[in-house]
Amino acid sequence: MKYIVVLGDGMADEPIDALGGMTPLDYADTPNMDRIAREGACGLLRTVKDEFEPGSDVANLSVLGYDPATCYTGRGPLEAASMGIDLGPADYAYRFNLVTVRDGVMEDFNAGHITSEEGADLIGSLAMPGADFHPGISYRNLMVVHGAKGSVTTPPHDIVGQAVAPHLPSGGDAPLLMRCMDAAREAFADHPVNRARVAAGRLPATTIWPWSGGKRPAIPDFRGRWGLAGGMISAVDLLNGIARYAGMEVIHVPGATGFIDTDYQAKARYALDAIERLDFVYVHVEAPDEAGHMGSVEEKVKAIEGVDGLIGTILDNFDGTVAVLPDHPTPIRLKTHTRTPVPFAIRGEVTDSTACFTEKEAAKGAFGLHEAADFLPLLFGRKAA
């Protein structure tokens, strides 16, 4: 048997007045997700335990069957793995965003979705003893602190519209991180990239925002645990880093952007090609989460429909087991993540009476409510590992 999982990041939501009290999943035209629910069975999945912040790192690790309590050290080292950065025993990797902070307020956590090329130019202007800076994709970048002690940080997408002062780094690495932020603010102030962005009516990247640092984690091999060759399709370094540590094949898709303009059909085609040589393919789509952070109902509905079109291409060309789910909700109202259980549907051996794929309908499904550790055993038709 072969398996394809399609995960729409942040796809779950709350009822929205502008949609007549429906969630974006309710409102969107999703015939293919509905087909999975109708031909298979649904349930709810608790992807983030109470002791963890509700993030894509913890949630996707959990969906893939890994216990964050034993293998999660922070988002930074996962992204480091994706970028081919080998961490030493005294190194901490921190994710950092290029952000727009003005008048002491986090105006935008992604500097207007700055391009990768612009970000690389900005980051090339940074230098700080004890830290290395690595450009990534768009606003998502990485810094490695040598001889690190760790630090308490706040995700920038959690404080949009808020004063940043109460959320600045604290702990052992905080002095260095603050110096890096100050250096970035000075270097970016009159940088040609920012001058060009402002002239074009776009937001400037005013500084960097480090967060979610950690040491190199120990993640068990996916094939060794399940006896299946696995692959990952994602435009996000976080997911590709998880895959590298887990010994899964990282499949790069041209046109996959990690934003709402991603090429959904290219992801479907590459998934179908990969499943010819692999047993399990995990297709991660970031777009719904980005729309949720933007607070855009229209873009979130559009992103969900893009995910549905991807699923349609897979269903039309693959007769194995297919599942769909989010990793966590990213409600439009909050513009950030919550730990509310998410809906999932599996077209496999189990069937029930659910007629569509929504949060409300999934709660009626035959699978019921499960912890994330149960998801792959349910998918594979096995007892929990």
Strands 342-347 and 41-46: antiparallel
Q: 23, 298 in Cβ contact below 8 A? A: no
The predicted structure's pLDDT at residue 383: 64
Q: What is the mean pLDDT of residues 321-339?
A: 97
How, if at all, do strands 368-371 and 41-46 pair? Answer: parallel
CA atoms within 13 A on the CB side of 370: 23
pLDDT score of 382 more than 90: no
Q: In whole numbers, what is the pLDDT of the chain averaged over residues?
A: 96
Please give the Cα distance from 255 to 237 (Å, whole number): 15
Tell me the domains of the chain and their CATH numbers: 3-72+218-380 (3.40.720.10), 81-214 (no CATH)
Q: What is the mean pLDDT of residues 194-202?
A: 97
- The pLDDT score that the predictor gives to residue 6 is 98
Reported as a single tens digit per residue, the pLDDT across 74-106 is 989 999 999 999 999 999 999 999 999 999 999
pLDDT tens profile 136-173? 989 999 999 999 999 999 999 999 999 999 999 999 99
Collapse the DSSP code of 104 into the 3-class scheme (helix H, G, I; strand E, B; otherwise coil) and give the result: coil
Average pLDDT rounded to a whole number, residues 29-36: 98
CB-based contacts of 228, cutoff 8 Å, min separation 6: 3, 222, 278, 279, 280, 380
243-292 confidence digits (pLDDT tens):
999 999 999 999 999 889 999 999 999 999 999 999 999 999 999 999 99
Residue 36 has pLDDT above 60, yes or no: yes
| Single pTM value for the model | 0.86
* Assigned token pair, 303: 């992103």
Asked if pLDDT for residue 384 goes beyond 80, the answer is no
